Each structure stands twice: as C-alpha cells, then as structure tokens.
C-alpha cells in the first residue's frame, strides 16, 4: 500500500499525558498537512510542511502541540499535557508541489483523552 499511513490508529490516554502521532506521506509528495476532525465536523487545518519546513500553523495549534518533519519525509505530531478537549481524529494528508485541489488523506489517528 503506497498511500498515506498513520500510526497509531487509536490512542486512549489519561489527561495530562503526552501523545505522539506519526504520519508517513506518499513518498514523492513534498507537502504534508495535519488536520483535526471532531464528530460531525469537517477537518480543521492545524499545520503544514513543505519538505522539512513548517510553513504555517493554525491558531488552533496551542503551545502544547508541536509538529516536525525531519528530512522532509515522515512527520510527527506531539500533544503534551493532553486535555479532554484534545479528543478528536487527527488526520494527515500529503500532496505534490503543484497547483491542484487534491489532498491524499490517511485513515487518521483517533485520540481519546479520559
């Protein structure tokens, strides 16, 4: 399978713990995005990378959230001191560096904070 891969698919944690999600984009894709989705809502933009550079972060991304994309390949999204409001699906998407409307999404990592 050469699509976008996310790990873990499900994570249950206690409030105050740190969690990390990993995304492996399609190999030739330069751009990588993180979105958050809650039940019944559309994905909300969090941040995106072009190669290894993080070009933009949403104001939704508090200082408890950090994302990296070392060497422009896989990316990690870490949430420190999790809160119940962090419970959501975290989606990763990738795309080529060209003008297009198409993002390729992974299956998502569902976070439940107890």
Partner 1 sequence: GESVGLHLPTLSVQEGDNSIINCAYSNSASDYFIWYKQESGKGPQFIIDIRSNMDKRQGQRVTVLLNKTVKHLSLQIAATQPGDSAVYFCAENIISFNKFYFGSGTKLNVKP
Q: Is 25 near partner 1 (CB under 8 A)? A: no
- Residue range at the interface with partner 1 (CB under 8 A); choices 14-22, 60-68, 73-81, 93-101: 93-101
Binding mask 31-60 for partner 1 (x = CB under 8 A): x-x-x----xxxxxx--x-x----xx----
Tokens of 81: 């001191």
Is-contact 102 95, C-beta < 8 A?
yes
Choose between 5 and 13: whose C-beta lies nearer to partner 1.
Answer: 5
Gyration radius of the chain's alpha carbons? 13
Is-contact 77 58, C-beta < 8 A?
no
CB-CB neighbours of 69 under 10 Å:
22
Q: Write out the residues near partner 1 by the rule CB under 8 A.
A: 4, 31, 33, 35, 40-45, 48, 50, 55-56, 91, 93, 99-108
């Amino acid at each position: 399978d050469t699509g976008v891969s996310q790990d873990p698919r499900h994570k249950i944690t206690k409030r105050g713990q740190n969690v990390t999600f990993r995304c492996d984009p399609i190999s030739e894709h330069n751009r990588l995005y993180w979105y958050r989705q809650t039940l019944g809502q559309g994905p909300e933009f969090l941040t995106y990378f072009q190669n290894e550079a993080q070009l933009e972060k949403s104001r939704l991304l508090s200082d408890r959230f950090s994302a990296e994309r070392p060497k422009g390949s896989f990316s990690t999204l870490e949430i420190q001191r999790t809160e119940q409001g962090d419970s959501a699906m975290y989606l990763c998407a990738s795309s080529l560096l060209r003008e297009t409307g198409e993002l390729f999404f992974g299956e998502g990592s569902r976070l439940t904070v107890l």
